Amino acid sequence: MPGTSPEASENRPAVARRALLTGGAAGVGTLLGLGAGLGIPALRDRGTPQAGPPGGVDPSPEADRSSGIGGELPGFGGEALPCHGAHQAGVTTTPPAAHARYVSYRLRPETDRDGIRRMLRILTGDVEGLASGTGPLADPEPELAARPARLTVTVGVGPGLVDRVDPLKRPEWLAPLPPFSRDRLSGQHDGGDLLVLLQADDPLPIAHAARMLARDLASFAEPLWTQQGFRQARGAEAGGTTMRNLMGQVDGTVNPSPADEDFDGLVWIGGAPEDASRDGRGGAGAWLEGGTALVLRRIRMELDTWDQVDRPGREQTIGRRLDTGAPLTGGDEHTPVDYEARNALGLTVIPSFAHVRRAHSEDPDERIFRRAVNYDDGAESGLLFACYQRNPLRQFVPIQRRLDELDLLNEWVTHTGSAVFAILPGFEPGETLGAALLE
């Protein structure tokens, strides 16, 4: 860690160049040496990062003082979430962070198995430094890292990375999704070899973390695409309602909860017999025990034409009320949909091709854990639909096949980007992300 003597900085040359981090002991040594000259007394003034319980809700008094505006008490910026554990942070973090950034990288041609090992070692240190608020090694702007605002950094690997290590270790599902007839993939937001998912309640630490990771990954991989999204700002909540998407719909009501008994079996890869075999070759998924499969879909919304549909039309399209998110068959947001209920004419209240009906499956294993954020880059807006599951071929794909075939909502949504990543298992202090892949 950098020293804390503010005077040290006075004796340094005006503009010195610093070696870029290229991995390897020599580089790290140089950086530590330079780091000793950094004087960062401001860091001593910041609120000590608070490690919340696994659920992510910070019970400290600080959390109750975060009303913020104009106040002199430290806000939530100082809150830090633990990055260690059986699973990576950022998948089930509750409540979900207000801002998310997905950054996909392509490995450089020369990054071989050893390079991947070095890359994951550096990435592990960066995740630890960024999540805790101390910043990664030789962070040139430690002040931007010091208030992580519940920053999580979640790392996933794509098919190309696993193939470069050992094609036999690649699970069948770790591949581009089978094509859907309505897909209009632009090629701008598809796939990649490495995913870094940054989430926090403040966009500033995300921007800084993304830059630090890009710096440290630069010799191993190059950025392929970035997608940014948001939920309602932290502290703005009305309380009790699920996120709204830009169509105005309550989005994500029916979703397994990490507290559910069957959640682990749906979401976390557990080394179950079916995980351990792939085409009879065996063991393809063992290195992923504690990880999960992420499907990320960029869903463009045709809001101009959606706005021309009246409210009853929209509610029938979805099968839920727009105001409360309750099913058209009654109750509140969390009341189960009654797919059999009929109106006076004998027709089902939920139309045959309503979104909720087409997305619903009678098979309890055909469920996914959703984490969507809105995106709006000025030119285009929609939903970055993310879901986690043990096996996309058995969970996301059958659901999406039904929607792709028939869904009233299809007139106003278009899937323009698609990616599948294996989210690496969690790690403990002293361990390295993805170590089991490289064993």
Q: Find out whether 74 and 47 touch, Cβ atoms under 8 Å.
A: yes
Kindly indicate which of the ranges 8-16, 110-118, 155-163, 423-431 contains the residues binding a copy of itself, using the contact rule CB under 8 A: 8-16
How many chain residues are in contact with a copy of itself, going by CB under 8 A?
103
Cis (ω within 30 of 0) for the bond into 95? yes
Q: Verify binding: residue 7, a copy of itself, rule CB under 8 A.
A: no
Contact set for a copy of itself, span 300-319 (CB under 8 A): 303-304, 306-313, 315-317
Question: Residue 363 or 377: which CB sits closer to a copy of itself?
Answer: 377
Q: CA 69, CA 47: separation in Å to the nearest integer? A: 17
Residue with Cβ nearer a copy of itself (289 or 376): 376
Asked if 31 touches a copy of itself (CB under 8 A), the answer is no
Report which of 340, 29, 401 is spatially closest to residue 182, judged by C-alpha positions. Answer: 401
Whole-number minimum distance, CB 14 to a copy of itself, in Å?
5
Phi, psi torsion values for 130, nearest 5 degrees: -70, -45
Query: What is the closest distance, in whole angstroms, from the C-beta atom of residue 374 to a copy of itself in the complex?
Result: 7
* DSSP-derived secondary structure letter, 425: B
- Report, in Å, the least distance between residue 288 CB and a copy of itself: 28
Which residue stretch of 155-163, 166-174, 178-186, 370-378 sits at the interface with a copy of itself (rule: CB under 8 A)? Answer: 370-378
What residues from 166 to 205 belong to the interface with a copy of itself (CB under 8 A)?
Answer: 201-204
Q: Two tokens at 76?
A: 């939530």
324 sits near a copy of itself (criterion: CB under 8 A): yes
CB nearer to a copy of itself: give 68 or 364. 68
Helix pair angle (203-217, 113-132), 10° resolution? 160
Contact 370, 396 (CB under 8 A): no
Which one, 116 or 328, has the nearer CB to a copy of itself? 328
Burial zone of 27 (CB within 10 Å; 0-12 exposed, 13-18 middle, 19+ buried): middle
Phi/psi of residue 30, nearest 5 degrees: -60, -45
From residue 417, alpha-carbon distances to 103, 145, 392, 396 in Å are 13, 31, 16, 15
Would residue 251 show up in a list of annotated catalytic residues for this protein? yes
Q: Which of 29, 68, 283, 364 binds a copy of itself (CB under 8 A)?
A: 68
Binding pattern for the stretch 128-167 against a copy of itself, x by CB under 8 A and - elsewhere: ------------xx-xx--x-x------------------
Closer residue to a copy of itself in complex, CB, 253/317? 317
CA atoms within 13 A on the CB side of 299: 21
Smallest distance from the beta carbon of 46 to a copy of itself, in angstroms?
6
Site for a copy of itself in 93-132 (CB under 8 A): 95, 98-99, 101, 103
Question: Catalytic one among 126, 190, 251, 275?
Answer: 251
Q: Which is nearer to a copy of itself, 6 or 283 (CB)?
A: 6
Asked whether 205 and 99 are in contact (CB, 8 A), the reply is no
Number of Cβ atoms within 10 Å of the Cβ of 409: 22
Distance CA 402, CA 382 (A): 21
Closest CA to 246 of 322, 335, 188, 184: 322
Binder to a copy of itself among 23, 49, 75, 133 (CB under 8 A)?
A: 75
Q: Which stretch binds a copy of itself (CB under 8 A): 59-67, 155-163, 168-176, 255-263?
A: 59-67
Cβ 253 to a copy of itself, closest distance in Å?
14
> Which residues does 72 contact at the CB level (< 8 Å), separation at least 6?
none
Query: In this complex, which beta carbon is closest to a copy of itself, that of residue 149 or of residue 356?
Result: 149
Q: How far is the CB of 88 from a copy of itself (least distance, A)?
A: 21
Q: Are 348 and 342 in contact (CB under 8 A)?
A: yes
x/- binding map, residues 382-421, to a copy of itself, per CB under 8 A? ----------------------------------------
- Which of 78, 87, 99 is closest to 156 using CA atoms? 87
Structure tokens at 50: 């608070």
Strand, helix or coil for residue 397? helix
Shortest distance in whole angstroms from residue 106 CB to a copy of itself: 15
Tokens of 338: 């009654």
Where does 210-250 show beta strands of DSSP type E? 221-230
Of the two residues 22 and 226, which places its CB atom closer to a copy of itself in the complex? 226
Touching a copy of itself, residues 224-253 (CB under 8 A): 225-228, 230-240, 244, 246-248
Which residues are known catalytic residues? Answer: 251
